[in-house]
Structure 1
Amino acid sequence: MHTQIVLFDGFDPLDVIAPFEVFHAGGSASGGRVSVELVSAEGPREVVSGSGGLALRAAAALDPTRPGLVLVPGAAGRIGDEHQDEHIPTLLARTLTTELPALLAEALRDPRVTVCGVCGGSLIPAMAGLLEGRHATTHHLGLDMLDATGVSAVRARVVDDGDLVTGGGVTSGLDLALYMLEREVGPRVAHAVEDLFEHERRGTVWRDRGLSPAAF
């Protein structure tokens, strides 16, 4: 299983680094059956995050036809002042002027690819009109925005909608990545990585299956 983690200007470093470490460790635990790389819509370049100028280097261009996972992180910046350039919704909206939405649309059309979003990362394809009618989650502050795009927003730590898997707040990147290891490679590898990082996943992975719960 290969994972492409997408960098864009203003990305949240924890949304990137936490899944990267999980998948990298998964590669060691699975004898090389899991791999991960940092990519961008523009190709190889240094990409500056929204956290104190921290930068990471994208090693390649996002390939939406490569089988495996495409993981989109959220943005890091200000929450309150919508007129600031580093306002999180502004940073996310800027990605819509790049090639990223078209690349994500192509990835979502490919049955060999699963698109993942961590925190605000699910809002990028949603704002591009790519997730209408799908189930997804995001940071709790963005659930209304997700709903407004025609998505069935679910308040859960991780939501599995088949070829679309999304995580809630920032640290959910750990839980999402461990879940994808379990789903795609197996629970023994996922457990080994979970044990290595001394992290226990939180919450039930929400899927559109089973009985609908009655109102409490």
Structure 2
Amino acid sequence: MDAQIVLFDGFDPLDVVAPYEVLVAGSDYVGGELGVHLVTAEGPRTVVSGSRGLTLGATDRLDPAKPGYVIVPGAVGPLAGDPDDGVETIPVLLARFGETAAVDLVRAALANPDITVATVCGGSLALAMAGLIDGRRANTHHLGVDVLEATGVVPVSARVVDDGNLVTAGGVTSGLDLALYLLERGYGPRIAHAVEQMFAYERRGTVWSDSGREPKAW
């Protein structure tokens, strides 16, 4: 299996690096069975983040036929400002994702039964604004929940939301919890626990999934 982490202009570095580090450590614990790659829709290139010009290098093109995970981060930038004045706010950066070739590739990934598409923070907003996850259950950063709902997505307030082939996580640091959950789902709790111990990190919050009994109203 392969984990493809999708870079786009204005991405949030922590949304990328946190799951990257967790998944690489998990890969080591399973003998390298999990490949972990930074990719773009365009292929290998240097990608500028939204965090003061920090760059990361993508080594491959996003391949929606490759079994495993496709992980979409959120963006970082100003929360307020006039786009007409050239201010690239987070909503502008996320909306711009929907104008790239990544949309068709992620759509194909969602249609591939061998792929789970995952998002960190505003990554779910990028997919929602591109019309890729209408009617699905998902979470995002708490400041973007209203926008998520307005696009036709059903918000769930949980650290990680498992909606089958779509797994989403809340705020920026939830990328750690997302990646640990993907390791547990794919390789079992012992692998995820080994990474937790290596990182001296304890997972936070609840993983919600559409299973089990419905809670009764109080």
Determine the structure 2 residue equivalent to 1:188.
190
Range with bigger deviation, 5-14 or 148-157: 148-157
Q: What amino acid does structure 1 have at the position aligned with 2:166? A: L
Q: What amino acid does structure 2 have at the position aligned with 1:177? A: A
Q: What amino acid does structure 2 have at the position aligned with 1:161? A: D
Trace 1:118-197 onto structure 2 (pairs within 5 A). Answer: 118-197=120-199
Determine the structure 2 residue equivalent to 1:9.
9
What's the CA shift for 1:215? 4.0
Inter-partner Cα distance in structure 2 for 1:102 and 1:77: 25
Contact kept in structure 1, 2:95 and 2:130, CA below 8 Å: no
> Alignment identity in percent?
62
2:51 counterpart of 1:51:
yes
CA deviation vs aligned residue, 1:16-35 (integer Å, no higher than 9, x gap): 00000001111111111222
1:10 aligned counterpart, secondary structure: coil
Contact kept in structure 1, 2:19 and 2:176, CA below 8 Å: yes
What's the CA shift for 1:79? 1.0
Inter-partner Cα distance in structure 2 for 1:82 and 1:110: 39
Range with bigger deviation, 81-90 or 60-69: 81-90
Range with bigger deviation, 47-56 or 125-134: 125-134
Trace 1:102-117 onto structure 2 (pairs within 5 A). Answer: 102-117=104-119
CA deviation vs aligned residue, 1:146-165 (integer Å, no higher than 9, x gap): 11111111111000001000
Q: TM-score, normalised by structure 1?
A: 0.97
2:209 counterpart of 1:212:
no
CA deviation vs aligned residue, 1:24-76 (integer Å, no higher than 9, x gap): 11111111122200000111000000001100000011001110000000001
Q: What amino acid does structure 2 have at the position aligned with 1:42? A: E
- Please, which of 197, 201, 204 is the counterpart of residue 203 of structure 2? 201
What's the CA shift for 1:82? 4.7
Contact kept in structure 2, 1:5 and 1:71, CA below 8 Å: yes
Contact kept in structure 2, 1:85 and 1:91, CA below 8 Å: no
- Where do 5+ consecutive residues of structure 1 fail to align? none
Aligned residues: 216
Determine the structure 2 residue equivalent to 1:19.
19
Contact kept in structure 1, 2:160 and 2:170, CA below 8 Å: yes
Contact kept in structure 2, 1:126 and 1:151, CA below 8 Å: yes
1:46 aligned counterpart, secondary structure: strand
Inter-partner Cα distance in structure 2 for 1:171 and 1:156: 13
Contact kept in structure 1, 2:81 and 2:87, CA below 8 Å: no
CA deviation vs aligned residue, 1:159-195 (integer Å, no higher than 9, x gap): 0001000000000000000000000011111100010
Trace 1:59-98 onto structure 2 (pairs within 5 A). Answer: 59-83=59-83, 85-98=87-100
Q: TM-score, normalised by structure 2?
A: 0.96
Inter-partner Cα distance in structure 1 for 2:80 and 2:156: 24
Determine the structure 1 residue equivalent to 2:39.
39
What's the CA shift for 1:135? 0.6
1:119 aligned counterpart, secondary structure: coil
